[in-house]
A and B are shown apart, each in its own frame.
Chain A
Amino acid sequence: MIDFTEEQIKRYSRHILLQDVGVEGQEKIMNARVLVVGAGGLGAPVSLYLAAAGVGTIGIVDADVVDLSNLQRQVIHFTKDVGVPKVKSAKEKIEAINPDVKVDTYFEFLDSSNALDIIKEYDFIVDGTDNFPVKFLINDACVMAGKPFSHGGILRFNGQTFTHLPGTACYRCMFKEPPPAGAVPTCSQAGVLGAIAGMLGTIQAAETLKYFTGIGELLTNRLLTFDAKTMQFHTVPVKHRDTCPICGTNPTIDHLIDYEQAACDLKNH
């Protein structure tokens, strides 16, 4: 049992006051180890809220440096951070919010060579990435390692998220494989309203805290989608697929795959 300091009791008082959390729940949060993949639009709010909540260890993976175009939605990075590695900028903010939190940084891309080694150090993984190859990689690595994770995706005015626990539907149960490279939206169709990242990221942070405290029902076997234009939220029941190539009865995928990412160049549009 953690001996809470006076300062901690005050800091976490709004959690401790919640009957579903209490001192026990707060202790679980403080013992939690969470990996956030991507310190971008989703990783920013996720990291900020998990830090404020007192998550014991937060690992952050990102190989990018802060770009001016990130600041429209990646609220953990400030104007002064342009050019700084995102993991460094994120670590500074997390420590400023809550010195209780231990931050591990991985200034590298997550790929088939390092994913399992990094993931195995954590209890829960949050997918805050911006591309399909890594979303499939995180899914496959978590299924292989038996780790729970939160999936998140945003586009234009829409967001989607679900939570995976071993045995429940995974990303490949819903989307068998990445979309063909020629099928990805053109630049003029892409883009995202900044606040959407906050809406989805805070749902992912809430799911993470629910996982550790055991509160309520997680978004397992359900895909939550929303359209911020109408503010309609829609939950689609999804089932674990016996024929799923990674978590099905006879999985055909036995190693991690580095898919190619199709990209478009904003300068040409």
Chain B
Amino acid sequence: MAKITVNGEQQEVKLPLNITELIKQNDVTQPDMVSVQVNDDFVDRTEWDGLQLKEGDNVDFLYFMGGGTFLFRV
């Protein structure tokens, strides 16, 4: 087990674990709407499968947010 921080909260995870798997574990329903930072560096979507997390990593999920009339066309 390893301790990592996800969006400011500590989590215990089982290694090996890549970004795609972490996203799945955290029930992110729409991975396409998320941008990921590991230890303050952005990780391109194409590198999510290849980046193996390690003890002490700090992961931030940044979500796309539109506006108040988000996508509604009445």
- A residues engaging B (CB < 8 A)? 38, 40-42, 67, 69-70, 73-74, 128-132, 135, 152-155, 158-160, 173-176, 179-180, 182-185, 187, 189-192, 194, 196-197, 223, 225, 234, 236-239, 241, 261-267
B7 touches A264 (CB 8 A): no
B18 within 8 A of A: no
Q: Which of A42, A73, A135, A185 contacts B33 (CB 8 A)?
A: A185
Interface-forming stretch among B19-27, B47-55, B57-65? B57-65
Looking at the complex, which one of B7, B35, B72 makes contact with A187 (CB distance below 8 Å)?
Answer: B72
- Known interface pairs A180-B32, A183-B32, A236-B60. Does A265 touch B73 (Cβ–Cβ under 8 Å)? yes
* Known contacts A174-B35, A185-B33, A239-B41: A158-B70 contact under CB 8 Å: no
Nearest first, the 4 A-B pairs at minimum CB distance are: A41-B68, A130-B67, A153-B65, A183-B32
Q: Which residues of B contact A173 (CB under 8 A)?
A: 42
Measured between C-beta atoms, what is the minimum distance from A80 to chain B in Å? 20
A73 to B69, CA, bound (A): 10
Which residue of chain B has its CB nearest to the CB of A127?
B67
Q: Which residues of A contact B29 (CB under 8 A)?
A: 189
Give the CA-CA distance A179 to B45 in the complex, in Å: 12
Task: Determine the chain B residues whose CB is within 8 A of the CB of A67 once the complex forms.
Answer: 74
Q: Which residues of B contact A264 (CB under 8 A)?
A: 71-73
A33 to chain B, nearest CB (A): 23
Q: Which residue of B lies closest to A194 (CB)?
A: B68
Please tell me if the beta carbons of A197 and B68 are within 8 angstroms of each other in the complex: yes
Q: Is the CB of B37 within 8 A of A41?
A: no
| Alpha-carbon distance between A185 and B63 when the two chains are bound, in angstroms | 12
Alpha-carbon distance between A154 and B64 when the two chains are bound, in angstroms: 9
Contact check, A129 vs B67: say whether CB atoms are below 8 A apart. yes
* Pairwise interchain contact A239-B40, C-beta atoms closer than 8 A: yes
| A129-B69 Cα distance, complex, nearest whole Å | 9
Q: Is the CB of B64 within 8 A of A132?
A: yes
| Residue from the set B37, B67, B69 with the largest chain A CB neighbour count within 10 Å | B67
Residue of A nearest to B69 (CB): A130
